[in-house]
């Protein structure tokens, strides 16, 4: 049966949030894009992406412009031929993985709905217990320690600490946090490319005594050639984030001895289709992965949870994006939280959609 794309709605999906700071900048809105891909089969697929220009190089505005072009490419085409539709986007433009991820998500939503299955079952997965970390943004050591105590008292078991502003102060941040929360909580850190090589060596060797689970992306990607040396000098395991956008990057990082783990994000990979390839390359080399994200709402988070259920090599979960100060929840259905544990119903497809009242206040384009 052919399921034909008839139109696509594109929304400027801005979610106000408390200011959140990482090494590369501060965000006060989740500047997302939401789409609905309509078909002649009486069903539509939803997609959402979160523009993070300081990481991926796309803004909300560039995503909206590219979304219009992508919609024109797809109109009148078959929605169930996922690989062909995505290849059309790749042939049209290199990069632009953030907005591509929303279109990828919508196709998988359609395919799972057409099959009458929740997405994780469509992908061949099964449910398992997923517990997210919770992220502490960059501030003074004292303020970060106070935030860590709040999270501990709320039941958090895993803290992800943003670093990368100043290597010496970063070591003080970790010292203050570990002293505040004690030995039982896991602490992982993310430098967001903030350190030079010598700073990374100093910071990682200094904080290792605090039982650090791993460090994400210690240096800018142009220092990827120095990662094998850093791996030898660091007592803390290294996770590749911005150094891995696709499965070719994953292969290069792994074969060069540049990482212990890989962080998969839909906004980097371009969606589920490529994320699966990264996962499989890493699994073949016994390199565990983490499911990460930008500032997505529970809509995109729901698709990520389905993907995690179908991806046994994802061992770490950084799935707290909509807990980081979103001041509105524009999602209906979708992921639910029990403390820091995630679950989702067996509704068909992704099982999440946007609230119509929220959408009425959003700029809308239909192609």
- Just list the catalytic residues: 162, 190, 216, 241, 265
Which tokens hold the place of 95?
A: 């990069």
Q: How far apart are CA 128 and CA 342, in angstroms?
A: 10
Residue 251 exposure: Cα atoms within 13 Å on the Cβ side: 6
C-alpha distances out from residue 318 to 135, 161, 179, 292, Å: 8, 11, 23, 5
Question: Is 294:310 a contact under the CB 8 Å cutoff?
Answer: no
Q: How far apart are CA 105 and CA 140, in angstroms?
A: 38
C-alpha distances out from residue 242 to 54, 56, 253, 327, Å: 11, 8, 11, 27
Neighbour count for residue 361 (Cβ, 10 Å): 11
Using the CB atoms, write b or e for 12-26: b if 16+ within 10 Å. Answer: bbbbebeebebbeee
Q: How far apart are CA 96 and CA 270, in angstroms?
A: 8
Q: How far apart are CA 115 and CA 121, in angstroms?
A: 10
> Whats the size of the chain, residue-wise?
367
């Amino acid at each position: 049966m052919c399921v034909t794309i008839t139109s696509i709605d594109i929304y400027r999906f801005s979610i106000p949030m408390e200011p959140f700071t990482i090494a590369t900048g501060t965000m006060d809105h989740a500047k997302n894009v939401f789409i609905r891909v309509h078909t002649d089969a009486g069903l539509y697929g939803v997609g959402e992406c979160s523009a993070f220009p300081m990481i991926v190089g796309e803004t909300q505005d560039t995503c909206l412009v590219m979304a219009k072009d992508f919609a024109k490419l797809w109109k009148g085409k078959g929605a169930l031929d996922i690989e062909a539709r995505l290849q059309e986007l790749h042939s049209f433009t290199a990069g632009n993985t953030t907005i591509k991820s929303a279109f990828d998500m919508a196709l998988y939503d359609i395919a799972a709905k057409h099959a009458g299955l929740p997405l994780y079952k469509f992908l061949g997965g099964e449910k398992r217990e997923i517990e997210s970390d919770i992220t502490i943004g960059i501030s003074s050591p004292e303020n970060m320690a106070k935030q860590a105590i709040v999270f501990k008292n709320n039941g958090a078991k895993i803290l992800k600490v943003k670093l990368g502003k100043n290597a010496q102060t970063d070591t003080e941040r970790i010292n203050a946090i570990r002293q505040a929360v004690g030995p039982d909580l896991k602490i992982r850190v993310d430098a967001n490319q903030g350190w030079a090589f010598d700073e990374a060596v100093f910071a990682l060797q200094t904080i290792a005594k605090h039982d650090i689970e791993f460090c994400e992306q210690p240096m800018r990607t142009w220092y990827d050639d120095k990662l094998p040396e850093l791996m030898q000098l660091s007592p803390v395991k290294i996770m590749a984030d911005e150094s891995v956008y696709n499965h070719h990057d994953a292969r290069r990082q792994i074969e060069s001895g540049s990482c212990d783990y890989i962080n998969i994000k839909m906004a980097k990979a371009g969606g589920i289709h490529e994320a699966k390839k990264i996962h499989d390359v890493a699994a073949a080399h016994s390199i565990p992965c983490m499911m990460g994200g930008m500032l997505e709402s529970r809509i995109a988070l729901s698709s990520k949870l389905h993907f995690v259920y179908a991806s046994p090599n994802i061992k770490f979960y950084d799935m707290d994006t909509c807990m980081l100060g979103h001041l509105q929840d524009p999602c209906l259905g979708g992921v639910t939280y029990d403390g820091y544990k995630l679950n989702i119903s067996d509704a068909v497809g992704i099982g999440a959609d946007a609230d119509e009242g929220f959408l009425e206040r959003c700029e809308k384009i239909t192609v």
